[in-house]
Amino acid sequence: MSFALRPTRSLYAHLTTSNFVQCRTIKKEHTLKSGGWERVIPAFRSVCGEDGVSLGEAVREQHGRDESVHRCRPPDVVVWPRSVEEVSALAKICHHHHLPIIPFGTGTGLEGGVGALKGGVCFSLRNMDRVLDLHQEDFDVSVEPGVTRKGLNSYLRDTGLWFPVDPGADASLCGMAATSASGTNAVRYGTMRENVLNLEVVLADGSIIHTTWLYTSLVTLPGLKQKTSAGYNLTNLFVGSEGTLGVITKTTLRLYGVPEAMVSAVCTFPSVQAAVDSTVQVLQTGVPIARIEFLDDVMIDACNRFNLLSYPVAPTLFLEFHGTEKSLEEQVTVTEEITQANGGSDFSWARDAETRGRLWKARHDAWYAALALRPGCKAYSTDVCVPLSRLPQIIVETKEDLMLNRLTGPIAGHVGDGNFHCIMVMDPNDQDEVIRVHEFTERLARRALALDGTCTGEHGVGLGKRALLREEMGPLAIEVMQGLKTTLDPKNLMNPGKVL
Amino acid sequence: MSFALRPTRSLYAHLTTSNFVQCRTIKKEHTLKSGGWERVIPAFRSVCGEDGVSLGEAVREQHGRDESVHRCRPPDVVVWPRSVEEVSALAKICHHHHLPIIPFGTGTGLEGGVGALKGGVCFSLRNMDRVLDLHQEDFDVSVEPGVTRKGLNSYLRDTGLWFPVDPGADASLCGMAATSASGTNAVRYGTMRENVLNLEVVLADGSIIHTTWLYTSLVTLPGLKQKTSAGYNLTNLFVGSEGTLGVITKTTLRLYGVPEAMVSAVCTFPSVQAAVDSTVQVLQTGVPIARIEFLDDVMIDACNRFNLLSYPVAPTLFLEFHGTEKSLEEQVTVTEEITQANGGSDFSWARDAETRGRLWKARHDAWYAALALRPGCKAYSTDVCVPLSRLPQIIVETKEDLMLNRLTGPIAGHVGDGNFHCIMVMDPNDQDEVIRVHEFTERLARRALALDGTCTGEHGVGLGKRALLREEMGPLAIEVMQGLKTTLDPKNLMNPGKVL
C-alpha cells in the first residue's frame, strides 16, 4: 500500500490557513452599488418589520459561518422572515436587484454552506418555528425551518411518535433536509432522503412550490402521500440541494412509533478489523439494529476525557436495539454471538433512558471531545462513505495513514452505513500540519472513490468538496446538475458558489 | 355525499371509443421527409446489425401498445441495441435527425407509455439482458433492461438474496425504475424509488451518464454507495420519468436476504370498512407486514372463477409475513387480534411455497380475472393513493359510486400503501358506459386529491393522467418539471407527449 503524494490541486483550498482567520474586517464592497442598499433595506423592512432586518456587524458575522473550519463570510444583511409569504416577498426583491440569497437554519453545518461568498442577503429562518399538521394516524408532521430536531421530538413527547434522524447537532429539520443529513439512526430509519415526504420551497424568483401536490382548495392541508408516481420527483431534487435551488420553508416528515423497548450497549474489540467485521456481519444477518457506531481507540480516549467516562481505550462499538421486548431478545442474542466470535468484550448495558442518554451524549460530543484533545486547535471532519464490504479495508488503511503522517484524527463512524468521520484536529498556525491534513483528506476521499464510495455521506458538498464532487460524478453528470441549477436559478442567486 | 357530474374535460380523452380501435392502417406520414428514412435506416443497421432493425408492420404494432386500453401508436421503426454504446450511437443518429426515441422494455405498462405519439424510433431493449456485478456482501446487483423481475430472482435463487418489488407483471427492472413501479411488497420493502441505487442513462444527445458516481479508472465497476449527500439526487429524478428524460440502460438495485420464514393468510370481513380498518390498525401497531392486499367481494368472486378457487365472496385481505420463526409468531398474533376485533374470519393459511404461490398468483391475475367477468370487454385500471387514515372513507365512497353508476369495477388494492385499483371493465362499443367510466375515474381521482392523495400511486402518468398531474401539482410545479425536461431534452425527443 502506498500513499504517494499526488499533485495538490485546489481541492482543499478551504484548508489553507487563510480559512482559519476569523473575519475581522467586514467586507466593504457590497453587491449593490453605492446607494442601492438605501432602496433595498426599506423594502426588506416593509416586508418583515424593523426588527426583521439587521446590518449589525456582529449579527452578520454570526450568520457567515457554520461549525466548520471554513472561514466566516458574512452576508451584507440578515433578514428574519416570519412566513412563507414574507420569504417569497423578500426573494422577489432580491431577484429584482440580483442579490444572492443564503438560507440559514441553525448554522450547525460542517461544509461552509452558509458563507456569503458573493455577499448578499442571509435569510435567517428561526422565526418560522411552527409545528403544523401533525397527523398521528398517518405518521406525518410538517415543520417550519425554525423547528429543530429536539424541538420536534419535545413536541411529540406525548403522542407515542418520534422523528429518529439524528445527526447529533440540534439542527433545523428543514436545514437537515437541505443537506440530506443522516446520523446515528440511519442504519435503521434511513436518512432525510427517505423521511422527507413533501417540501414547500421558495424559488429564486419568489414563487412558492410544493414538491408533491397541494390541492388548491385546501390550502391549510399539506400535500402528503404515502407513495406516488406522479411526475418527476421534485422532493428528492431539493433534498440535499444545500440551498442552491431554493429556500425550504416547510418540510413534511415521516414519523415513527416510539419503540416498545430500547436498549443500548458498548462492546470493545481487540482490533479495528474485529469491530468492523462484526458490524458487517450483524447487518448481513439482517438484525434490524437501530444504531451501530464505531469509535477508534483515540476517539474513545477523547470521549472518556471529555465526558469523564472510563470505557476501555480500544476499538469500540456503541449499539442500540429497538423493538418489542421479544424481538429485542432475539436481536441481542444474534449480535452477541457475532461480536463474541470476533473477540469482542461482554456487552456493557445501558437500559434506562438516562443511562442511554449519557452514552449517546458521549458519542454526539465526539467533535468537542476531539477538539479538547488539543486546546486552541481547529477541527475538520472527513465524511467518506463506502459499500459495507469495503469498510474494514478503508478504516484499517486510514488508521495507518494517520499514524504514518503524525496526524490527530480520531475516527467515529456510522459504520452501519459505511460512513465514517476522521475528526482532523490541527493547529491552524502550523503550515506543515495544515498541508499534511490537506493531503490526507484528499488521499482518503480518493481511497473511498476507488472503493466505489463517495466523498460525502452526510455533510454535503458545500464549499469544501466541490472539486471532489466533480471528480466523483464525472463531467457529464456535473453538466446535468449545472443544467438543473440554471433552469431553477438562472441568475445564480441561490446560495451561489456552493455544491457546483 | 354527492357525485354531481363535473364538466367533462379532455382529461379522459384516452378513454373515448377511438382509443379502443386497434390500429389497422399504419401511419403513413413519417417523421422524416420522404427519402429521409433511406439514409437513417442504414445508419441504424450499421450500429446494431441487419437483425437489429425492423420496419415490419406486425413488429411495429407490437411495440406501439402496452397492456392498457390506450390505442396502439406504432413507431416508424424498431431497433434492438445490444449495448449501452449502441444505444448511445442510435440516440446520436436520432438526435441529429430530430427523431423521437421511445424506450421499450416488456410492454407491460398500464398508462400507454410506449405509444409513439409522434412516430419515431422504438428502442426495444430486450437484447440487453445481462445481470452484472452481483455484490452479495453489499446486497446489490446491476441489471440491463432486458432482465425482468422474475429473471433476476431466478438468477439469485442460490444466493440467499432476492429482489422483492413485485408489480405482478414480469416487467423489465429498468422499466420498473422508469415507471417508479411498486406492487404488493411495497408496504415492507418500499417502491422502486427506495430500491434503485444507481442508474446508467443515455440522454437525448446520446451522452451516457451515471446518476451516482462511476470512478473513471474502474469502468467495470458500477458506481454504488450506501448513502450519499454528494450533489443533486439524479437517481430519483430519472426514477419515474417514464422515458421522457433519457433511456435507462442499467440499474443497480438493492437486494434483501430471503427471510428465514414466510407465511401467507387469507381473512374475510363482514364489511369493506372492517377490512380497511384492520389494515390501518395493523400498520399503526408497527407490525412489519410484508404484504397486505385488499380484494372486494366483486374481485374475490372474479378470482374464484378465474382461478377455480372457493374463497368466501366477501371483502378480503391477503396477508404475508416475513421474518424469523420467532418474529413471525409475534406478527401473526398481533395481526389476528386486530382482525378478530374487527369481525374478521379465522385465518386460512398458506405455509409452503406452492400454496403461497397459488394464493399470490390469484392476486396477481386480478386483471385477467376482472376481464373474464365480461368477455369481449376492455379494462382500465384506476390507481389513486391516499394517506392511510383516509382509506376507509374513499373505498366506501368509491364502492357506492360504482353501484350508483352501474359500473363493473372490482377493487384490488395495496391497502398498506393507501393505494388501490378499480379495474374498470367496459364494453368499448357502449358509448354510454364509456362515458360513465370517464366520469367515474375523474370523480375518483378528484376524491383522492381532496383527501390529500394522488391520481397515481404506481402506474405512472403516461398518456392517461397528464391533465390530472397538472391539476394535482399546480401550474408552478409543472413549470419546474417542464423546465427540467427542457434542460435534459431540449428537442423534446425523449418519449414525447408523455407525463407533461
Q: Nearest C-alpha of chain A: how many angstroms from B219?
A: 11
Select from B317, B299, B301 the least CA-distant residue to B309. B301
What is the DSSP secondary structure assignment for residue A202, as one 8-state letter?
A: E
With H, G, I as helix, E, B as strand and everything else as coil, classify residue B147.
Answer: coil
- Among B208, B232, B387, the residue with its CB nearest the CB of A481 is B232
With both helix axes pointing from N to C terminus, report the angle between A353-364 and A366-373 in degrees, rounded to the nearest 10.
Answer: 50
Beta bridge partners of B140: B135, B254
Chain A contacts of B113, Cβ < 8 Å? Answer: none
Q: Nearest C-alpha of chain B: how many angstroms from A422?
A: 17
CATH class of A31-124: alpha beta
> Can you give the pLDDT at residue B92?
98
Non-local (6+) Cβ contacts of B394 within 8 A are B384, B386, B447, B448, B451, B453
DSSP readout, A406-446?
T-B--EEEEGGGTEEEEEEEE-TT-HHHHHHHHHHHHHHHH
Residue B495 in grid coordinates: 418519449
Contact A363, A166 (CB under 8 A): no
Contact B295, B366 (CB under 8 A): yes
Q: Cβ contact (<8 Å) for B213 and A477?
A: yes
- Among B213, B327, B477, the residue with its CB nearest the CB of A454 is B213
Q: Cβ contact (<8 Å) for B237 and A241?
A: no
Non-local (6+) Cβ contacts of B157 within 8 A are none
Q: Cβ contact (<8 Å) for B224 and A387?
A: yes
Sheet holding B101-104, edge to edge: B53-54, B77-79, B121-124, B101-104
Nearest CA in chain A to B177: A229
Only one residue has cell 448554522, namely: A107
Contact B181, B196 (CB under 8 A): no
Residue B498 in grid coordinates: 408523455
CATH number for the region B131-257 comes to 3.30.465.10
Spatial separation of the C-alpha atoms in residues B245 and B247, rounded to whole Å: 7
Q: Cβ contact (<8 Å) for B280 and A137?
A: yes
Tell me whether strands A121-124 and A77-79 are parallel, antiparallel or unpaired. Answer: parallel
Non-local (6+) Cβ contacts of A292 within 8 A are A187, A279, A282, A283, A317, A318, A319, A320, A414, A415, A416
SS3 content of chain B, % helix, strand, coil (to 5): 40, 20, 40
Non-local (6+) Cβ contacts of A183 within 8 A are A165, A166, A167, A168, A414, A458
Per-residue CA distances from A353 to A185, A282, A310, A320, A348 (Å): 16, 24, 20, 12, 15
What is the DSSP secondary structure assignment for residue A138, as one 8-state letter?
A: G
pLDDT digits (tens, 9 = 90+) for B405-447: 999 999 999 988 889 999 999 998 999 999 999 899 999 999 9
> Can you give the pLDDT at residue A471?
86
Q: Which of B203, B452, B476 to mutate to test the interface with A (most CBs of A within 10 A)?
A: B452
Query: Domain spans of chain B?
Result: 19-124, 131-257, 261-450
Beta bridge partners of A79: A53, A123
Q: Nearest C-alpha of chain A: how many angstroms from B312?
A: 30
Phi-psi region of A108 (alpha: psi -120 to 50; beta: other; left: phi over 0): alpha
What is the H or E stretch that residue B411 is in?
A: strand B411-414
Question: What is the residue type of B147?
Answer: V
Nearest CA in chain A to B464: A230
Only one residue has cell 411552527, namely: A130
What is the DSSP secondary structure assignment for residue B416, as one 8-state letter?
A: G
Spatial separation of the C-alpha atoms in residues B192 and A437, rounded to whole Å: 40
Using a 10 angstrom Cβ sphere, with 0-12 exposed, 13-18 middle and 19 or more buried, the burial of residue B322 is buried
Tell me whether strands A161-162 and B140-143 are parallel, antiparallel or unpaired. Answer: unpaired
Q: Cβ contact (<8 Å) for A181 and B229?
A: yes
> Can you give the pLDDT at residue B138?
85
Chain A contacts of B237, Cβ < 8 Å? Answer: 232-233, 236-237, 484
Tell me whether strands B208-210 and B196-202 are parallel, antiparallel or unpaired. Answer: antiparallel
Spatial separation of the C-alpha atoms in residues B385 and B456, rounded to whole Å: 6
Q: Which of B208, B228, B465, B499 to mutate to test the interface with A (most CBs of A within 10 A)?
A: B228
* Tens-digit pLDDT string for chain A (500 aa): 333 333 333 333 344 333 333 333 334 444 566 568 888 999 999 999 999 999 999 999 999 999 888 889 999 999 999 999 999 999 999 999 999 999 999 999 988 899 999 999 999 999 999 999 999 888 899 999 999 999 999 999 999 999 999 998 999 999 999 999 988 888 889 899 889 999 999 999 999 999 985 332 222 222 233 466 678 999 999 999 999 999 999 999 999 989 989 999 999 999 999 999 999 889 888 888 999 999 999 999 999 999 999 999 999 999 999 998 888 999 999 999 999 999 999 999 999 999 999 999 999 999 999 999 999 999 999 999 998 888 889 999 999 999 999 999 999 999 888 899 999 999 989 999 999 998 999 999 999 999 988 888 888 888 888 888 888 888 899 999 999 999 999 999 999 999 99
Select from A199, A201, A152, A200 the least CA-distant residue to A172. A152
What does the H/E/C string look like for B358-402? Answer: HHHHHHHCHHHHHHHHCCCCEEEECCCECCHHHHHHHHHHHHHHH
Only one residue has cell 461552509, namely: A112
Question: What is the residue type of B203?
Answer: L
Q: Please, what is the Cα angle at B347 between B346 and B351, to 5 degrees?
A: 150
Count CB-CB contacts under 10 A for residue B156. Answer: 18
Spatial separation of the C-alpha atoms in residues B462 and A212, rounded to whole Å: 18
Chain A contacts of B495, Cβ < 8 Å? Answer: none
Nearest CA in chain B to A480: B488
Q: Cβ contact (<8 Å) for A209 and B477?
A: yes
Domain A261-450 grouped into CATH 3.40.50.150: no
Alpha helices in B130-209, H assignment, sequence order: 149-155, 173-179, 186-189, 192-195
Q: Cβ contact (<8 Å) for A182 and B227?
A: yes
Chain A contacts of B231, Cβ < 8 Å? Answer: 240, 461, 469, 473, 477-478, 481, 499-500
Spatial separation of the C-alpha atoms in residues B26 and B14, rounded to whole Å: 19
Spatial separation of the C-alpha atoms in residues B215 and B41, rounded to whole Å: 35
ipTM value of the model? 0.85
Using a 10 angstrom Cβ sphere, with 0-12 exposed, 13-18 middle and 19 or more buried, the burial of residue A125 is buried
With H, G, I as helix, E, B as strand and everything else as coil, classify residue A262.
Answer: strand
Only one residue has cell 474502474, namely: B218
Q: Cβ contact (<8 Å) for A224 and B387?
A: yes
Length of chain A (residues): 500
Q: Nearest C-alpha of chain A: how many angstroms from B319?
A: 19
Residue A329 in grid coordinates: 431478545
Per-residue CA distances from B72 to A97, B28, B67 (Å): 52, 15, 10
Q: Cβ contact (<8 Å) for A237 and B236?
A: yes
Spatial separation of the C-alpha atoms in residues A378 and A423, rounded to whole Å: 10
Gap between the terminal Cα atoms of chain B: 33
What is the H or E stretch that residue B143 is in?
A: strand B140-143
What parts of chain B have a pLDDT lower than 70?
1-35, 213-229
Nearest CA in chain A to B181: A229
Q: Cβ contact (<8 Å) for A469 and B232?
A: no
Spatial separation of the C-alpha atoms in residues B53 and B41, rounded to whole Å: 8
Only one residue has cell 454471538, namely: A337
Residue B124 has phi, psi (to 5 degrees) of -80, 120
Spatial separation of the C-alpha atoms in residues A176 and A192, rounded to whole Å: 7
Spatial separation of the C-alpha atoms in residues A145 and A131, rounded to whole Å: 10
Contact B231, A469 (CB under 8 A): yes
Nearest CA in chain B to A200: B477
Sheet holding A77-79, edge to edge: A53-54, A77-79, A121-124, A101-104
DSSP readout, B239-280?
TT-TTSS-EEEEEEEE-EEPPSEEEEEEEE-SSHHHHHHHHH
> Can you give the pLDDT at residue B30?
43
What is the DSSP secondary structure assignment for residue B4, as one 8-state letter?
A: P
Chain A contacts of B457, Cβ < 8 Å? Answer: 225-229
Residue A464 in grid coordinates: 469544501
CATH class of B19-124: alpha beta
Contact B463, B14 (CB under 8 A): yes
